[in-house]
Each structure stands twice: as C-alpha cells, then as structure tokens.
Amino acid sequence: MPVHNADIAAVFNEIADILEIQGENPFRIRAYRNAARVVGELGKETSELANEGMDLTELPGIGRDLAAKIREILDTGSCAVLKRLRKQVPVSVTQLMRLPGLGPKRVSALWHDLGIQTVEQLDRAARDRRLGELPGFGPKTEQRILETIAAHRDTAVRFKLAVAAQYASALTRYLRKTPGVENVVVTGSFRRMKETVGDLDILVTTGNPAAVIARFASYDEVREVLSKGRTRSTVVLKSGIQVDLRVVAPESFGAALHYFTGSKAHNIAIRRLGQERGLKINEYGVFRGAARIAGDTEESVYRSVGLPLIPPELREDRGEIEAASRGKLPMLVEARDLRGDLHAHTSATDGRNSLREMAVAAKTWGLEYLAITEHSRHLTVARGLDAAHLLRQCDEIDGLNAELPGITLLKGIEVDILEDGSLDLPDPVLAQLDLVIGAVHGQFHLSRARQTDRIVKAMENPYLNVLAHPSGRLLGSREPYDVDMLKILSTAPSHGCFLELNAHPERLDLLDTQCQMAREEGVLVAVNSDAHSVRDFDNLVYGVGQARRGWLEKTDILNTRKLHALRALLKRQD
C-alpha cells in the first residue's frame, strides 16, 4: 500500500505525543516533531524520493536513525518504536491531546492521577467537577474543557487541503491509467480550494464505466467499499478519507463538473436561473424539454443561463452570480502573478535551510525577491534573534545580494507584538530593515477589546509594515483569537500597514471572507509562504487559492508588484 508524507508525519507525531506524556527528553521529542513537519511539508512524496535513490539524511534535520525509521514506515506503514510505545500509553490517551488546551502535562496528570483515558471519561469527570482535584485545573479550565468537548463532537472529521491533496494526487494518477479514461478531475470543496475537506469527489469520463469502477474499488489504499454501482462507487481509504467516484459520458463532462464542484447553494441558484428560462440543469446536461442543448463544457452550462464562466473558488453563493450577470467578476490572482515572498525563515532561527539555500530555492520557484523575516528574541522557542544577531544577518544578506543574480533578499524580521502592543525590538533597529512584519505569538485569550487595541497600537508603530497571520488560528488545533478584524482593516490604511495571507496549510490566515473585507477597505494583502525550508514555497499555491476564494485580483496583492514599486509602498509616511 502506498505510504504518503501525511502518514509518516502522523507516525512521528504520535511518537512525540507519547514521549511528551511520558516526560521524556525534550530534544528527542523535538527531533520527532521536526521530522514530522519536514516530511509533512515536502512538496514531493518521500516514497518517490526514496525510489529515486535519494539519501534521506539530506532532508533537513533527518539523521541516520530517523531516515531508517522513514524507510521502515515506507516498507511497513508503521515502525517498531511506535508499536512499543503504544503498549505503554493507550492510543486514546494521546488522542486527548487533540483537544485544544490539553497539552502533554495536563493529559499525563489526567491519566495518571484520575485514570482518564478517553474523551468520554474526561467529559464525565469535568461534569462531576473532579478535575479541580488536579493542580492547574480550576473552574474556568473545567468549563473550557466541557465547551471544547462539545465543539469537538459537533465537528465532522475534516482534512486539511494540503493533506487531502496527497491522497487525491495518488488516486487520480492511478485512475488515469485505466484504459479508455479521458478525464479525471477532483471536484467538490477540493476544487473550490476550501481550507479543509470532508471527503473527496472524483469525476471520470470514459466509454467504459465498468473498468473504472472495478479499478477504483481495487485500489490498494481502500479500507472499505461502501457502495459499488454501474456508474458510481464510494470507498473509505485507510487514511479515513471517504472518496465518491462518479463516471459520466464525455458529452456530460461540463455539466457533471459543474454539478459535483458545487457548492450546493451555488448550484441551486444556477438551476433557478435555468428554470426561469425553461431549462432543466442536472449532472447530465442542460435540457429544454427532451432536447439536450448544453453540458459538454462548464462554459456551455453558464452560457445557457446568460452568464460567463464563474471560477470554482467563487462558487459559494456569496454574490458571484450577481457579479457575473453585471460583468463584474474579478480577474482572480494566479500563482504566476507573485513576484516575491515577504515571510521566510532560515536555520538562523527555526528554519531548516541556510540563507543561500532559501534564496536559490525562491529563485527556482520563479520569485524575484524574498524577505528574510526571522523570529525576534521574545519567541525563545524558535531561537529568536536579538538586535546584534539580526544586524549580523543583515550583513550576510548584503553579501549574498552582491553575488546572487536574479533574486534580491530583503532584510526583515517577524517581530513579536507584545501584550501591551509594543514591538519586541527597538525602533532604531527596526529602522535599518527593508520590511517589518508583526505577529501575535502569545496571550491569545485576551478580551476582544484588549486584543484589538494591542494590534492597533502595534500598527501605529512607524516601522511595522505587515500584520502576519492576523487571526492567529491553526486549523484543527487553535481557534482564531477574538479580535475586531473590521477595525484592524479600517485602521491599516491610515498607518500604511498591510495584512498577510499566510499560505501555510496549517494557517491559511486571512480567512476568505476577511480577504473580501480587505479588498473592500482598500487594504493590500501579502500572500506569503511562511517558508521554513526550501520546499515550503510550494505552499504559495494554497495561499493563492485562499486569495481567489476571497475575490482578490493581482492588484489587490502586495507582492505582485515589481521590487521598486514594493519598496515605495513599504516606506511609511507616519
């Protein structure tokens, strides 16, 4: 069975979880966490790299021991270390760490002191007010745990877009090898570039449906076949992702592509437009009575109701149909429009490649400039830079710019916004940089008013250019902090500030609706990779997808500008 990067990362993260609960050596734990992140963020499957003969120790932070474990996972789907650890700590205990606010120390206390191993046991203990017996578990913590458990139960399992892409890519490659197949497209929320997907929908056109259905059901990664018909089948992969396959004739491709891409609300609105014209629109075509008048292409479906083609990312019934009818659809930004990246880290802090390696990788990706924005000193967990180390890096950047053609490095910093809204480094140091991005990395639970005031005060600093990952969320593990985003957006222009759309698949922050708000307020958005390795520039694709969902055009994006125009915009007038 194929093993994907997400599978390897999951093994290493589970090992790290158990080691943390056991209170093991933090350096050993960090090694597994870093390995999970390195492998999970690779743009190419580790199995392919191994098959090509690559020495896996060439991957950042991967030594001989971890490389051997990766090969073991590729061969067996697991590793002996994890099997041994699972005998010591039940899997259900490590799953408690998936609940926001429950770190390893708290989970260890719950398990060892109260015998709590499952979410259900935790829920009962919290309702019985027994958690107060443990140090650090007061009434507020107890109530927060109950709320978190309730939210956890109400949320269906969803997969981050980048993780789903690994499984979708392998499966579509497999299906394309079926004789007689013409088109294989992943539709649904995946095609609309939603940040998470509940399942995968795959559309195939062929003259031989039976062959495709049979091949689909026999895929190595299938755990269970839920249904298997003449033109449709549903399976669950071993990863837990459900996949729905639909097979249609080539002449119905456009209609089926539109129908299965969704969203449901968008499709209903299009069908109503069709009904007003006496048309019936379904997955097989557009019909006037019994006559089929369109459906071979998506363009023909939209044309039948008097509309131009609406890009998949906009199909959420949030005004796109009215905009299309008035000829006001945005010319959405594309990945090729990006000229630079304004947020990247090197091995000087918590990155995994050198300054030179990051510069070369950015150039290879097609970028003309790259801002090096290490963490500042307050973020000790990331070995943040103090003023002296930052200025030494600036000298290194000057040296590289003198010898590297085709790419310009910008001197920057990702400076912490402290609780009182001040910045972590003094103004005279920030004044020597090309770019300063500010970020909230702690005190996420401040009240809405205090969090908003904190960020607004930081934006008033004459050297802050960009607000990084503005909502602070981590998909699946940390909710956005409570902040008045409209106030932040309305404040930004008067202080010459811009907002980041962080393209890391764990963040995708700004939200798509906030991108629309930024556009309405005239605030430029920087689509940044937050790269921590040479392979992370591929994350820009997901950032562009989020920007497109937010109706952003090339002119709405800060880093689509040429370098001289960017420099002019970064000069603050305060």
CATH number at residue 421: 3.20.20.140
83 close to 39: Cβ distance less than 8 angstroms:
no
Report the sign of the C-alpha dihedral through residues 345, 451, 132, 102, in that order.
negative
DSSP helix/strand/coil, 509: strand
**CATH number of residue 249's parent domain:** 3.30.460.10
pLDDT value of position 126: 87
393 close to 355: Cβ distance less than 8 angstroms:
yes
| Region of residue 178 (phi > 0: left; psi between -120 and 50: alpha; otherwise: beta) | beta
* Dist. CA 455–CA 488, nearest whole Å: 8
* Dist. CA 226–CA 24, nearest whole Å: 42
Residue 439 lies in a domain: yes
**Same domain (yes/no): 235, 265:** yes
pTM flag (> 0.85): no
* Dist. CA 36–CA 7, nearest whole Å: 9
Helices assigned H by DSSP within 287-420 = 298-304, 320-325, 355-365, 387-403
pLDDT value of position 154: 57
pLDDT value of position 153: 64
Edge-to-edge strand list for the sheet holding 242-248 = 181-186, 199-206, 242-248, 232-237, 222-228
| Region of residue 476 (phi > 0: left; psi between -120 and 50: alpha; otherwise: beta) | left
* Dist. CA 547–CA 193, nearest whole Å: 10
509 close to 469: Cβ distance less than 8 angstroms:
yes
Residue 159 lies in a domain: no
**CATH number of residue 137's parent domain:** 1.10.150.110
**Same domain (yes/no): 460, 419:** yes
Angle between helix 26-40 and 64-76 (nearest 10) = 50
**Same domain (yes/no): 213, 320:** yes
Q: Do β-strands 196-197 and 199-206 pair in parallel, antiparallel, or remain unpaired? A: unpaired
Residue whose pair of structure tokens reads 């993780």 in the numeric block: 163
**Same domain (yes/no): 376, 318:** no
Residue 170 lies in a domain: yes
Q: Rounded to the nearest 5°, which phi and psi values hold at 134?
A: -100, 145
Give 249's contacts (C-beta < 8 A, 6+ positions apart).
205, 207
**Same domain (yes/no): 373, 506:** yes
Residue 160 lies in a domain: no
User: Shortest CA distance to 10 belongs to which of 18, 168, 89?
Assistant: 18
> What total of structural domains would you count in the chain?
3
Residue 542 lies in a domain: yes
Give 335's contacts (C-beta < 8 A, 6+ positions apart).
540, 541, 544
**Same domain (yes/no): 378, 307:** no
Alpha-carbon distance values, 241 to 154, 203, 307, 419 (Å): 18, 16, 35, 40
Of 325, 349, 371, the last residue of a domain is 325
**Same domain (yes/no): 133, 210:** no
Residue whose pair of structure tokens reads 């005998």 in the numeric block: 87
pLDDT in tens, the chain (574 residues): 678 998 999 899 999 999 988 888 898 999 999 899 889 878 788 998 998 889 999 888 899 999 999 999 998 888 999 989 988 987 788 888 878 778 888 888 888 888 888 888 888 888 888 888 788 788 888 888 888 887 766 556 789 999 999 999 999 999 999 999 999 999 999 999 999 999 999 999 999 999 999 999 999 999 999 999 999 999 999 999 999 999 999 999 999 999 999 999 999 999 999 999 999 999 999 999 999 999 999 999 999 999 999 999 999 999 999 999 999 999 999 999 999 999 999 999 989 899 999 999 999 999 999 999 999 998 877 688 999 999 999 999 999 999 999 999 999 999 999 999 999 999 999 999 999 999 999 999 899 999 999 999 999 999 999 999 999 999 877 888 899 999 999 999 999 999 999 999 999 999 999 999 999 999 999 999 999 999 899 999 999 999 999 999 999 999 999 999 999 999 864 4
The Cβ of residue 406 has, within 10 Å, a number of other Cβ atoms equal to 11
**Same domain (yes/no): 545, 477:** yes
**Same domain (yes/no): 409, 552:** yes
Of 325, 347, 382, the last residue of a domain is 325
**Same domain (yes/no): 33, 143:** yes
* Dist. CA 229–CA 246, nearest whole Å: 10
pLDDT value of position 155: 59
**Same domain (yes/no): 296, 362:** no
**Same domain (yes/no): 117, 180:** no
pLDDT value of position 156: 61
User: Shortest CA distance to 367 belongs to which of 546, 537, 542, 547?
Assistant: 537
* Dist. CA 294–CA 281, nearest whole Å: 9
Residue 330 lies in a domain: no
* Dist. CA 283–CA 548, nearest whole Å: 25
Of 261, 290, 325, the last residue of a domain is 325
Distance of CA 1 to the CA centre of its chain: 26
* Dist. CA 494–CA 161, nearest whole Å: 35
527 close to 469: Cβ distance less than 8 angstroms:
no
233 close to 227: Cβ distance less than 8 angstroms:
yes
Domain that holds residue 387: 335-570
DSSP string, 106-123: HHHHHHHHH---SHHHHH
Helices assigned H by DSSP within 345-412 = 355-365, 387-403
